[in-house]
Amino acid sequence: MRKGSRAGERGAATAELTMVLPVLVALTLGLVWLLAVGIDQARTVDAARETARAVARGDDEASALARGRRVGPAGTVVVVGRSGGDVVATATATVAGPGGLLRFLGGAHLSAQAVAAEESP
């Protein structure tokens, strides 16, 4: 036995590490999932913006919607409307939750809207 250590405290650091390690892993996974949600929100904004710009400059609406779905995260739904000379595009998407220990977080519903002035030919 080393001087200054107690026989009852042997392995205490290992036991504490095994208790804390799953929490640290879950926290890391949660932060990575939040980062992925942030990236997908930016992609949803891009999908709405690209669609609004394409329709405003006179592109075919079907191809503009396809472009928006391609730019956005998987499963993005893009809707286009017009209001007083402006094109309004709304993109929505759902990001699945991380699952596992973090299944209580659920998924995230993302939405973005972009407005572009219609260009005259």
Q: What is the pLDDT of residue 7?
A: 56
pTM here is 0.79
**All residues at 6 or more sequence positions from 81 whose CB lies less than 8 Å from its CB, including other chains:** 87, 88, 89, 90
Domain boundaries, the chain: 7-117
Which tens digit of pLDDT belongs to each residue from 49-99? 999 999 999 999 999 999 999 999 999 999 999 988 899 999 999 988 777
Reply yes or no on whether the pLDDT at 5 is more than 80: no
Which tens digit of pLDDT belongs to each residue from 8-45? 566 677 778 788 888 888 888 888 888 989 999 999 99
Residue 101 contacts residue 26 (beta carbons within 8 Å): yes
Task: Indicate the residue type of 46.
Answer: D
At 1, is the pLDDT very low, low, confident or very high (cuts 50, 70, 90)? very low
Residue bearing tokens 């095994």 = 18
Structure tokens at 78: 């893009």
Which tens digit of pLDDT belongs to each residue from 62-74? 999 999 999 999 9
- CA-CA-CA-CA torsion sign (11, 14, 18, 23): positive
